[in-house]
Structure 1
Amino acid sequence: MSADALDLLDPILSHHIVNSLGWRSLRPLQQEAIEPVLAGQDAVLLAPTAGGKTEAAVFPLLTRAQRQGWKGTGILYVTPLKALLNNLHPRVETYSGWVGRTAELWHGDIASTRRRRILANRPDILLTTPESLEAMLVSTHVDHRAFFSGLHSVVVDEVHAFAGDDRGWHLLAVLERLQHVIGRPVQRIGLSATVGNPRELLDWLQGSGRGVRPGRVVAPGVSPPDAGAAVAPPGVSPPDAGAAVAPPPGDVELDFVGSVANAATVVAALHRGEKRLVFCESRRTVEELGEQLRLRGVTTFLSHASLSTDERRRAEEAFAEARDCVIVSTSTLELGIDVGDLDRVIQLDAPATVASFLQRLGRTGRRPGSRRNCLFLALSDEGFLAAAALLLAWSRGWVEPVTPPPEPRHLVAQQLLALCLQEHRVGENLWQEWWGGLGVFGAAAEPVVRHLVEQGYLERDSGTLFIGPEAERRFGQRHFMNLTASFTAPPEFTVLSGRTEIGRTDPDLLTEETDGPRKLLLAGRSWLVTYIDWRRRRCFVEPADEGGRAKWNGFGAQRVRSFTLARAVRDVLLGGDPPVSLTRRAEARLAAAREKYLDVVDPAGTVITRRGDGDVRWWTWAGHRANATLAASLPSVVLRHRTVDDRFVRLRDDVTPRSWRAAVADTGAGLTLPDVDPHAVRGLKFAEALPARLAEATLAARLGDADGARAALAEPVRFLVRQDG
């Protein structure tokens, strides 16, 4: 172990690292993070899954706490998932205990008696979620000024998962309010797997401190790329333009199976005696695969967000202790939760991003002498092409840049209401100070404030703002708990077997017409519905042999393919082979796909096809958001309903090369944001607290891709008449 690195840490910590953990050396990230963290700098620490990121932050922070004599809660450790907090707590508690300090959990599952003990005896490290932080700030039972008075540092684990959606803006806004409460800047440390733009991620994490406080990206062995630059998978250097692409590390294989039942047959037959983790892209698929595996005699456990906490915990603990078994999960097991020493990762269809794939791949290959591995099992032609394209992009060293959603005006409304709850009254000319000029939380929020006052969400009196009757009506239930989260949870019914909670199900399954008994599929088992308590939204069940159905609708954004991944699909169809193993079934499916799309992919540009039935399509291969932008920007040639997907835009049947050129020329004045269905705004939480035009403008900004649209417009177009109509 590097003596220099150990000398920088508290000597008691150094002793336990060597003698209690038995480590012969610190990992490179842990060594390189010590200096900037001890110096109080903001930082983003990058390493693959299981790269020791938690220790890289906690060891030097505990050293700072000892040397500077921090009192009270000096460190917040924030993660996106309660399950991840539960998993991390024993480790962080152990490290803290070595130097005589404490660590506690605070989230929605923590009992009130334990919370009272925490408030009475502030821990040195508090592990929590952004929603729980918000709840502490607005709670009448928490003296937040006293509790957070000793705060110096915040660790944001899986920071890329926050930055990519509205929970990230919510977290930043809460951190700015915390800084205002305690009257000093707070060090911010983000922990992340590989991302395409780490410097921009650090700038985002710094919030109002960007350009004011020193910050550093710590990524041993990797030169941090600029925004949008390629980041290689572990062990692979980013290829130069035109250079041969090195095969990705580890054992990756692509197969086509065509159905969940066939996938279960393959999973049951392969790698017997080993521990396998299967990722699925929906809760419904998790349930269906879990049932099929159990029917084949495979010891199977399930994990997804609609299972009860106890059910997930039992499954994860049993899986961690077993050997010959399978756990089937959505992305809930992607973010660092320890489920023991895995042998295999299996992926049904493809994850949404290369970054997610890297997280999942990193679950394997942790034992000395073992290699990372992943088997893709495609359930459909679309899933097969998505997997092939993702693997091709990965092999080129590309990882998505993490891009925060633009213009989070709805969260401005939420934060203004939360601040008024927190402070009771806020000066109508002073509220901007609470966010330090962070993005749209500054002067640009004036129209939102006016709307909140006009609609009664806020009231104004004697130069101050305070909660109004409309906010009480809309959000006042359960002490304004619905105001503490930035996302909308769909209505679900709790499913109970006796007194045991199994999980939650979509109410549609309880109202749809059915022939015979009503059965649910949950936790990989079928259940007969025996009673429905409509008022309390509860459903009572008893075990059934088979025949259950799973369904969740949700309010989440439509999953769409990015410009780069859509173009990777085109590259696959043009002959680009992902440098992974393909089964004979996969090779046959790839050949069939290339034959099917032969006429609509062109390496030199895009293609407009006209079929005999009058169907005209512009094959851009530009991704859904770019195509939506193009459809809005070319109204004279696009079909009225503007039907788009990742691959094409539907055009009017009377389009000609001449009218096409005229329409493209008209876009020289600028592109148009996609149209927004007013009903779609309902999925934007707190949108009702915004003026309608601002709510629609917020959503429109998130549905478009101007850069991808410009790239497609700049390419040559080939007109083709097809006779297959």
Structure 2
Amino acid sequence: MDERLRRALKSVGIHELTDLQKKAFETVYSGEDTLIIAPTGSGKTEAAMVPVFQKMLEKRSQGICTLYITPLRALNRDMLRRLKGIADFLGITIDVRHGDTKESERAKQSRKPPEILITTPETFQILFLGKKLRNALKNVRFLIIDEIHELIDNERGVQLFVAVERLREIAKFQLIALSATISDPRKVAEIVKCSSIVMGGIEKEYEFKILRSDDDASLIKELASSHNSVLIFVNTRQTAEALGLLLKARLPIEVHHGSLSRDARMTAEENFAKGLLKALICTSSMELGIDIGHVDAVIQYSSPRQVV
């Protein structure tokens, strides 16, 4: 590993790679299209990006070298926070482009594209429409798709894979897909056309409880008060707002969903990560692998949309 990369990793607190990250480094560095499977919190992002950073240091290029795609805008921002320290240390430019990106920032990215661009599936498709960014895509060497299990067998996934094939027409790149634990790894690897699978990480033990109450708000307050940091998932934005109104007077709590402004969502994410909030009421906007600090309890209000 390049000594500059070692120092960059140490600067963000990574002094040694995990077993998963070591296995992934060998496979990804060899150039194979790779599916990395591990539980949430196992360091999958670094497992993919450390060898990519290494290869970027060995060969610098103009335009967008690495595309990092995640299903959610909140996850985009989280990836930027996690990777920016390493990228800045190495002198590699990195930025986010999605529905929340201001027009001035979009124009700047079109004029001078970052070497690493973090985006959503929908914005990835839009990149092909602009002449400058389409030209920048010709230099893509690495395509990383995070939380791939959320994009298999649905319309978003179909549209994403169509865009991936469009990218294959103009660029020669290595594909790295990241997934939480799934039942049929080979099937997913076949769908995303990955020749290698790397699996690892530490499985965690969880305690599940089903509780009934005539006063939901009081029960949630009691549960949240007995823990340090709680995520409360609801099925709709309306439910999130209604529950927020009931609980904000009793607890330091905020609401997070896609209809809120960018600033409101970012403030809620940051305050929760800093421990300023007891709980965060959210829709699916916060459910995918987002690093928002230590969470010691998760409450699902009403029945979940699906059980995996």
TM-score (norm: length of structure 2): 0.91
Which residue, out of 287, 291, 304, partners 2:245?
291
CA distance in 1, matches of 2:70, 2:40: 15
Aligned in 2, Cα 1:161/1:10: closer, same or farther, shift over 3 Å?
Answer: same
Work out whether residues 104 and 126 of structure 1, in 8 Å CA contact, stay in contact via their aligned partners in 2: yes
Aligned length: 307
Contact 1:278 1:328 in 2 (8 A): yes
Deviations 1:379-409 (A, max 9, x none): xxxxxxxxxxxxxxxxxxxxxxxxxxxxxxx
- What are the Cα deviations for residues 685-713 of structure 1, in whole angstroms up to 9, with x where unaligned? xxxxxxxxxxxxxxxxxxxxxxxxxxxxx
SS in 2 for 1:171: helix
Instruction: Give the corresponding residue for 2:196.
Output: 216
Match of 2:176 in 1: 189
% identical aligned pairs: 32
User: Which residue does 1:344 correspond to in 2?
Assistant: 297
User: What is the CA–CA distance in structure 1 between the aligned matches of 2:287 and 2:115, rounded to whole Å?
Assistant: 28
Which residue of the partner structure matches residue 203 of structure 1? 190
User: Is 1:312 aligned to 2:262, yes or no?
Assistant: no
The corresponding residue for 2:141 is 152
Distance 1:146 1:314, change over 3 A: same
Instruction: Give, in whole Å, the separation in 1 of the partners of 2:245 and 2:235.
Output: 16
Q: Match for residue 61 of structure 1?
A: 52
CA displacement at 1:271 relative to structure 2: 4.8
CA contact (8 A) 2:141 2:174 kept: yes
- Which amino acid counterpart does residue 218 of structure 2 have in structure 1? T
Q: Tell me the alpha carbon deviations over residues 641-667 of structure 1, each in whole angstroms, 9 at most, x when there is no partner.
A: xxxxxxxxxxxxxxxxxxxxxxxxxxx
Deviations 1:228-267 (A, max 9, x none): xxxxxx25xxxxxxxxxxxxx2332221225xxx221012
Q: Is 2:7 the counterpart of 1:10?
A: no
Q: How does 1:219-618 map to 2 (within 5 A)?
A: 219-220=199-200, 234=203, 249-258=205-214, 262-272=215-225, 274-295=228-249, 297-323=250-276, 325-355=278-308
Identify the residue that residue 583 of structure 1 maps to in structure 2: none
Question: Alignment partner of 1:254: what SS?
Answer: coil
Structure 1 unaligned blocks of 5 or more: 1-8, 207-213, 223-233, 236-248, 356-725
Deviations 1:10-62 (A, max 9, x none): 22112332x31333431222111001111111111111111111111111011
Secondary structure of 2:36's partner?
A: strand
Aligned-partner SS, 2:35: strand
Q: 1:323 to 1:111 in 2, by over 3 A?
A: closer
Q: Which amino acid aligns with 1:215?
A: S
Deviations 1:297-337 (A, max 9, x none): 22221112222222222222222233562211112111122
Kept in 1, the 8 Å contact 2:234–2:300? The answer is: yes
Counterpart residue identity of residue 82, structure 2 = R
Distance of 1:144 and 1:339 partners within structure 2: 31
Tell me the secondary structure at the aligned position of residue 192 of structure 2. helix
* Higher mean displacement: 44-53 or 313-322: 313-322
Q: Which amino acid aligns with 1:77?
A: Y
Return the offset for 1:149. 2.2
State how far apart, in whole Å, the 2-side matches of 1:175 and 1:324 are: 39
The answer to whether 1:166 aligns with 2:176 is no
Deviations 1:63-110 (A, max 9, x none): 112223443311100111122112211322222222221111122222
Residues 621-650 of structure 1: CA deviation (Å, up to 9, x unaligned): xxxxxxxxxxxxxxxxxxxxxxxxxxxxxx
Q: Secondary structure at the match of 1:270?
A: helix
RMSD of aligned C-alpha atoms?
2.1
Candidates 95, 99, 115, aligned match of 2:106: 115
User: Aligned letter for 1:204?
Assistant: I
- Letter aligned with residue 57 of structure 1: A
CA contact (8 A) 1:303 1:327 kept: yes
CA distance in 2, matches of 1:178, 1:13: 29
- Give the 3 Å change call, closer, same or farther, for CA 67–324 of structure 1 in structure 2: closer
For 2:251 and 2:224, how far apart are their aligned partners in 1?
12
5+ residue gaps, structure 2: none
AA paired with 2:199?
A
1:32 has 2:12 as partner? no
Counterpart contact for 1:275–1:323, Cα < 8 Å: no
1:16/1:311 CA distance change after superposition, 3 Å: closer
Question: 2: distance between equivalents of 1:23 and 1:136?
Answer: 33
**Are the structure 2 counterparts of residues 271 and 86 from structure 1 closer, same or farther at C-alpha, using a change threshold of 3 Å?**
closer
Match for residue 176 of structure 1 among 165, 168, 171: 165
* Contact 2:70–2:147 under 8 Å retained in 1: yes
Q: Secondary structure at the match of 2:210?
A: strand
Q: Is the 8 A contact 1:274 1:323 kept in 2?
A: no
Higher relative contact order by CA 8 Å / sep ≥ 6: 1 or 2?
Answer: 2
Distance verdict in 2 for CA 1:353–1:196, change over 3 Å: farther
Mapped pair 1:83 → 2:83: no
| Residues in 1 aligned to 2:133 and 2:262: alpha-carbon distance in whole angstroms | 28
Tell me the SS of whatever aligns to 1:253.
coil
State the TM-score, normalizing by the size of structure 1: 0.40
Contact 2:42 2:201 in 1 (8 A): no
Tell which structure's C-alpha radius of gyration is larger: 1
User: How far apart in 1 are the matches of 2:156 and 2:256?
Assistant: 22
